[in-house]
Amino acid sequence: MKTREIPVYMFTGFLESGKTTFIQGTLEDERFNTGEKTLLLVCEEGEEEYNPSEFYGQNVHIKVIEDKSEMTEENLDIWAKQIHAERVLVEYNGMWLLNEFFEAMPEGWAVYQVIFIADSTTFTAYNANMRSLVVDKLNLCELVDFNRFTKDMDKMEFHKIVRGISRRTEIVYDYTDGNSEFDDIEDPLPFDVNADVITVNDKDFALLYRDIMDNMKQYNGKVVKFKGICAVNKKLPEDTFICGRHIMTCCVEDITYCGLIVKWDNSRSINNADWKWLTARIDIRFSKIYGRKGPVLTALNVEPAMAPEEAVATFY
C-alpha cells in the first residue's frame, strides 16, 4: 500500500531567535490549525515555553528531542504513529545541519515549507562567526523572518546576505512597533536574460548557475555565452561534456564544481580542466546525468580560453 504523505513544516533559527513565539502564533491561527493531528518536534528549548491551551486546534502533541542522537528514522516514525500524525512541525536546533534531519525522515514524510526565524540584533554576528550554519539555513528556506527589526537598521545589509545565498527566498522585516513589511529591494541580475545572447562575465557565473537552476523555464530556448572549465568522463556519451566552474558558497571547505551538461559533436576533443568560451542554446529536458529535468546545452561555438584571475566563482 502507498504510504500516506505527511507534510513537514520546519522552523529554523538560532537560540532565542523567536522560533517558539512564531510557532505559538502559527498554531493559534485558525487558518493554519484547524484540529489536524500535529506532532510538534522541539529540538531546542529556550526561555520561552509553549502554551498549548492557546492553540486554536487542540490536537497538537509536543515531543522534545534533547539530544541529536534521538533523531533517528525509527524514533520519528514511532512518535508520528503513536498519535496518528497528519502533519509534523519542527522547531529545529540552529546548531544542527538541516540535512541531518532530512536523512532521518521516515518514508512518506515530505518537507512542505522551511522558514528561518532570525533575531535582527544578532543575525549579522552569527553570519560573521558561523557563516556555514547561516548558509545551511538560508539555502533551502522559502521565507526568512527578521524579527526585532528597528527603523535605524539597514535593510540592504540583511538583503545582501540573503541574496548572496538565495534569490528565491522571501524576506519579511518584523518591526518592534508591531508593523511588518516584505522586502521590495530590486535585485537585478548582472546580465540581460532577454538578450539574443546572454553574455556572462567571469565573476558572475555563480549567479547564472543558480538562476538557471531556480528559474529553468525562463532560460528554456535561450542562448548563453560564458567561460568555464570542462570535465570529461568515459561514462559520458561521446557527444557530451560538462562545462562549469568551482563555486564557493561560504568558505573554502564548501567549494563545489557546478557544471552544466553540454552536447557537442567534437566533445572527445575536450580534455579535463580545459578552459573554454562556450556559446550554447539551453533546453530544459530530462537527462540521465541529472536524474531529472535540467538545463541541457547544445554547443553553438566552443573556443579556447584563458583561466580567469579568480578560478573559484562566488555569489558576491
Instruction: Using DSSP bridges, classify how beta strands 275-287 and 223-231 pair: parallel, antiparallel or unpaired.
Output: antiparallel
**Helix (H) or strand (E) segment spanning residue 182:** strand 180-182
Q: What is the pLDDT of residue 195?
A: 95
Residue with more model confidence, 1 or 188: 188
Question: Over the stretch 74-120, which tens digit does the pLDDT of each residue have?
Answer: 999 999 999 999 999 999 999 999 999 999 999 999 999 999 999 99
Grid cell of 11 as nine digits: 522552523
Q: What is the pLDDT of residue 265?
A: 97
Asked whether residue 2 carries a pLDDT value surpassing 60, the answer given is no
Q: What is the pLDDT of residue 66?
A: 92
156-175 burial, b at 16+ Cβ within 10 Å, e below that, comes to eebbebbbbbbeebebebbb
In 3D space, the residue among 283, 299, 307 whose CA is nearest the CA of residue 240 turns out to be 299
**Helix (H) or strand (E) segment spanning residue 162:** helix 155-163
Question: Over the stretch 258-296, which tens digit does the pLDDT of each residue have?
Answer: 999 999 999 999 999 999 999 999 999 999 999 999 999
Q: What is the pLDDT of residue 252?
A: 65
Asked whether residue 315 carries a pLDDT value surpassing 80, the answer given is no
Q: What is the pLDDT of residue 1?
A: 46
Average pLDDT over residues 18-25: 95
Question: Over the stretch 115-158, which tens digit does the pLDDT of each residue have?
Answer: 999 999 999 999 999 999 999 999 889 999 999 999 999 999 99
Question: Over the stretch 22-67, which tens digit does the pLDDT of each residue have?
Answer: 999 999 999 999 999 999 999 998 888 999 999 998 899 999 999 9
The one-letter code for the residue type at 123 is F
Distant-in-sequence contacts of 57-64, Cβ < 8 A, 24+ apart = 57/27, 57/33, 59/35, 60/27, 60/33, 61/37, 61/85, 63/39
Average pLDDT over residues 170-185: 94
CB under 8 Å to 225, separation ≥6 — which residues? 197, 198, 199, 200, 277, 278, 279, 280
* Total count of residues recorded for the chain: 316
